[in-house]
């Protein structure tokens, strides 16, 4: 029997609640399937760890998780610690050195969930956003000088490399090709940003030649927000820079009904390092400890993890169980307008996994 080694990093806020729900569901799937298992190691890194040790994770933290088959991550963010410290100290401290350059964010209106867009029914909104996850606006290049004086200066330089852009374009074209519509939108801002974004566009044109079967178009990011709202059916796969896709993916999640259901995968496609799977909702301190966090974002991220591990049958089974549960309004958490608790949704998904013949 195959045993997958999973590093679970719940992090802060509702991260702990949704990750323990996610692990329960994974164990139920393994039991139901019988041909594979999980060994889950838990790491208590994050804001509380920082308060004790002055850092978000141990210095040799990456060595402790570098040999795992996948990482299941909750969220990083703490009300007492500046956001840039929690982000750079944990999530980016894993993503960037592990070269998880392809961040994939599927968006669908799941059964039973209503999009705020009046004219959208389920099947009409089925997107996957590919976010460049290793450089661009998140490269960390820049600095501050003359702090506190009227001469103070601060820069954040968006840094794009040819290799970085080529690999994300190729990844996105491949992903678009694997989907039925074979349709890709390359998001840009080359009207205003006349250096890196122009190179981004040129590389898109060059990579597109390798994929003659993919239909693609180019869209300025501001216009893209309008298109997502007014013509959602015209979109399938999207590729955008780190920051553009960060913003577009929150809009996408809201248009699909709730940030609470949105999943993401941080892939190192070459598999030199483990990939990392996480819900995109963040730590949500306002509802922490109340037992009402929506675990669906974590479950859907676990679906992506199972696909990556090479367990497509279990992935399909879990996705069907999730859809079974979202279709039942009694199992909607407050973010979806319901009254269910994290534990109810988790029990519902586990029951569907055990019962259904999928
Ligand atoms: C995301 C989040 C993060 C990001 C935050 C928590 C720093 O918004 O994963 O989309 O901006 O990358
Ligand atoms: Mg975001």
Residues with CB under 6 A from ligand 1: 87, 246, 280, 282
Q: Order across the sheet with 263-267: list the strands.
A: 36-42, 2-11, 70-75, 275-279, 263-267, 102-108, 126-132, 237-240, 183-188, 215-220
Distance CA 297, CA 73 (A): 11
Q: Which atom number of ligand 1 is nearest to the Cα of residue 246?
A: 10
82 and 94 fall within a common domain: yes
* Span 1-49, pLDDT tens digits: 899 999 999 999 999 999 999 999 999 999 999 999 999 999 999 999 9
pLDDT category, 123, cuts 50, 70, 90?
Answer: confident
Q: Does 154 lie in the same domain as 83?
A: no
Mark whether 123 and 216 lie in a shared domain: yes
DSSP letter at 81? Answer: B
Residue 122 is assigned to a structural domain of this protein: yes
Burial of 227 from C-beta contacts in 10 A (0-12 / 13-18 / 19+): middle
Say how many Å lie between the CA of residue 37 and the centre of ligand 1. 31
DSSP 267-316: E-TT-SS-EEEEESS---GGGTTTT---THHHHHHHHHHHHHHT-HHHHH
Distance 7 CA to ligand 1 centre (A): 20
CATH code of the domain in which 236 resides: 3.40.718.10
Whole-angstrom distance, CA of residue 112 vs CA of residue 327: 4
Q: Of 240, 256, 272, which residue sits at a domain end? A: 256
- How many separate domains does the chain show? 2
Q: For residues 13 and 92, state if they share a domain.
A: yes
Counting ligands in written order, the one closest to the CA of 13 is: 1
CA 103 to ligand 2 center in whole angstroms: 11
Which of 256, 285, 300 terminates a domain? The answer is 256
Calculate how far, in angstroms, residue 96's C-alpha sits from the geometric centre of ligand 1. Answer: 14
Mind listing the pLDDT tens digit for each residue in 199-251?
Answer: 999 999 999 999 999 999 999 999 999 999 999 999 999 999 999 999 999 99
* pLDDT higher than threshold 90 for residue 119: no
The Cα–Cα gap between 315 and 309 comes to 10
Last residue within a domain, chosen from 228, 256, 284: 256
Q: For residues 159 and 236, state if they share a domain.
A: yes
Residue owning the nearest CA to atom 5 of ligand 1: 87
Q: Phi first, then psi: what are they for 294, rounded to 5°?
A: -80, 115
Ligand nearest to C-alpha 103: 1
* Domain coverage including residue 245: 115-143+150-256
């Amino acid at each position: 029997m195959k045993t997958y080694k999973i590093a679970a990093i719940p992090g802060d806020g509702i991260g702990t609640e949704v990750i323990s729900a996610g692990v329960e569901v994974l164990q139920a799937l393994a039991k139901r399937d019988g041909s594979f298992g999980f060994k889950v190691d838990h790491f208590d890194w994050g804001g509380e760890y920082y308060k004790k040790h002055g850092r978000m994770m141990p210095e040799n933290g990456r060595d402790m998780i570098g040999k795992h088959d996948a990482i299941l991550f909750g969220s990083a963010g703490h009300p007492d610690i500046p956001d840039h410290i929690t982000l750079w100290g944990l999530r980016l401290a894993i993503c960037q050195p592990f070269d998880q350059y392809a961040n994939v964010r599927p968006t669908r209106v799941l059964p039973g969930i209503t999009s705020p867009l009046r004219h959208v029914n389920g099947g009409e909104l089925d997107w996957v956003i590919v976010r460049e996850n290793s450089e661009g606006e998140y490269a960390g290049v820049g600095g501050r000088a003359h702090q506190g004086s009227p001469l103070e200066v601060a820069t954040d330089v968006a840094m794009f490399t040819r290799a970085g852009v080529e690999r994300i374009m190729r990844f996105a074209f491949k992903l678009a090709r694997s989907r039925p519509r074979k349709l890709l939108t390359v998001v840009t801002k080359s009207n205003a940003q006349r250096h890196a974004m122009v190179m981004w566009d040129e590389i898109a044109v060059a990579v597109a030649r390798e994929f003659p079967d993919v239909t693609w178009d180019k869209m300025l990011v501001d216009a893209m927000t309008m298109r997502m709202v007014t013509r959602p059916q015209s979109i399938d796969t999207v590729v955008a820079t780190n920051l553009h896709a960060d913003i577009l993916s929150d809009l996408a999640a809201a248009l699909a009904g709730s940030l609470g259901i949105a999943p993401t995968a941080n892939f190192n496609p070459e598999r030199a390092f483990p990939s990392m799977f996480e819900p995109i909702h963040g730590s949500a301190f306002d509802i922490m400890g109340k037992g009402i966090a929506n675990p669906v974002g974590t479950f859907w991220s676990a679906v992506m993890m199972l696909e990556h591990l090479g367990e497509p049958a279990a992935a399909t089974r879990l996705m069907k169980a999730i859809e079974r549960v979202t279709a039942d309004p009694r199992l909607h958490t407050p973010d979806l307008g319901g009254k269910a608790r994290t534990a109810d949704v988790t029990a519902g998904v586990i029951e569907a996994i055990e019962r259904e013949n999928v």
